[in-house]
Structure 1
């Protein structure tokens, strides 16, 4: 495969293997609206996500590298979160674990793969948690371990490398109705374990403008953008730097005192490098106890 030509001349399975191994990361649980609002110590959350992205195209250096991929993914994510006091400091933190699992169906080559993805663990510490005014400032670190199935077989949930993700998120409640969430994120990567390919850090910025119809029901308009994450092996570029943007809309409501449901629609609006998600429907069910 001539990496610098953006998969041209490669067979489709080889191109897809390179595409997935350089960071499709569809199972990544990105910060949603409200995620950086701290909850009282002693609160526990069990969250179940379902993601259904549809992918037809991939890009390399701003040029289309593959078309008609006909890739459907059904991704589930189990996330367990515990809010507690941070070592007698009076601050709140939330140690947690994220376990992705799922199935991918590549219609272009009639290939099907399923299994567990790479597990993530980490926490957020809040240095500001003003519940009354809805003002929150949290600092996060997450570590992803290469535990997934079929690491070298193009399974989108398995990246076969260690990663460290650092985030800082701020929630600003303007009044009872309007809230703005902004999260800055950078992710650092170890070498891919089977090839020793090196990836540059990825920078991301997340924005959520939320309108609360009631204390229990809200909608949010979101925009995410990421830069960087260029990947190289033996002097050749496997993936060019990102400059990708995504828009989304979500609706969230409480079902009683302990259950919350969220529905989302996401779509990539600009992709310089990597897979382009034509549309993705996502659902999240949370149990609060």
Structure 2
């Protein structure tokens, strides 16, 4: 009986971490994303990410269970650069899709495949293509179009609107050395169909989530660079059915990798990363990102 109770408690903790903490992601960039391209340029981008998580945290302490959460996520992204009144903008969409799989002590949560929430965005540059320094501001809007079921703890959709505002800066520090810096805030709409823990519906609210990130690139050749990134996210505490969950996020992570223009209009980026410190939710112990970009 005691063992069954422990398992149920562990599953409850994991359920909350999945339904509350996991969806609240910030706006991660790849180094070079804030480099303006000439008006009339189009970009088609495909992302692939595989991540594994085997530690679960609550209020900064590791939960004494053995969870495993794997994710295989793709994103289809289309971008069109335009020159409007002497300023470059790039209206775009991002459509996530993929699969989440729970294993080990949380295997009862199963697995789920589906489509994430559609994201609409556009950067507004205050600098011009060809400049050695770039600065832009980007609003993002998430639409609740993704796969969601409050009775399924694993969902790629969030059943709520989200809005983020990000500022990005990129400059050449020295010959072949480029520094990128960005900060953003994400605001969350209400999810009025959240699981109340007993199978019923309740309302999920969430405070603003903040992220700062920095990237450093070294250009080995005109078509090949090495890169490292550091990310820090904080905030995003939730309220479920009017009860504050005390689940403020504080996450620090890094990645390293390379980017290569395999052809004049085709770029491949590969990075490896992991979480350094997590206060709430799952800790990513391995994450591999691939990105294929085609310009036309």
* Structure-2-length-normalised TM-score: 0.88
Query: Quick one: structure 1 residues 252 and 26, their matched pair in 2 at CA, closer, same or farther if it must change by over 3 Å?
Result: farther
The equivalent residue for 2:122 is 123
Partners of 1:238 and 1:26 in 2: CA distance: 14
Contact 1:210/1:221 (<8 A) preserved: yes
1:180 to 2:179 alignment = yes
Aligned pairs for 1:221-232 within 5 A: 221-232=228-239
1:211 and 2:221 equivalent? Answer: no
> 2:196 matched to 1:198?
no
Q: Please give the secondary structure, in 1, of the residue aligned with 2:23.
A: coil
Q: 1:11-30 counterparts in 2 under 5 A?
A: 11-25=9-23, 30=28
Q: TM-score, normalised by structure 1?
A: 0.90
* Counterpart-to-counterpart distance in 2, 1:114 and 1:146: 16
Cα distance 1:32–1:120, how it changes in 2: closer, same or farther (>3 A)?
Answer: same
Question: Which structure 2 residues correspond to residues 68-107 of structure 1 after superposition, within 5 A?
Answer: 68-86=66-84, 89-107=85-103
Distance 1:51 1:156, change over 3 A: farther
Q: In 1, Cα distance between the equivalents of 2:24 and 2:287?
A: 10
**CA offsets 1:35-63 (integer angstroms, 9 cap, x no match):** 01111111111111111010112212111
Alignment CA distance shift 1:269-1:37 (3 Å): same
How large is the RMSD of aligned CA atoms in angstroms? 1.9
Q: Which runs of 5+ in 2 are unaligned?
A: 1-5, 194-201
| 2:255 aligned with 1:248 | yes
Cα distance in 2 for partners of 1:45, 1:193 equals: 36
One of 38, 61, 70 as aligned partner of 1:63:
61
- Compute the displacement of 1:17 (Å): 3.4
Deviations 1:124-178 (A, max 9, x none): 000123514x210010000011211134212252222110010000001123300
SS in 2 for 1:20: helix
Tell me if structure 2 keeps the 8 A contact 1:27–1:100.
no
Q: In the alignment, is the contact (CA less than 8 A) between 1:23 and 1:159 conserved in 2?
A: no
**DSSP-derived class of the 2:191 partner:** coil
Q: How much does 1:239 deviate?
A: 5.0
Change (3 A) 1:49 1:121: same
Shift of 1:19: 1.8
User: In structure 1, what is the Cα distance between the partners aligned to 2:238 and 2:295?
Assistant: 40
Question: 1:22, 1:159 within 8 Å by CA — same for their partners in 2?
Answer: no
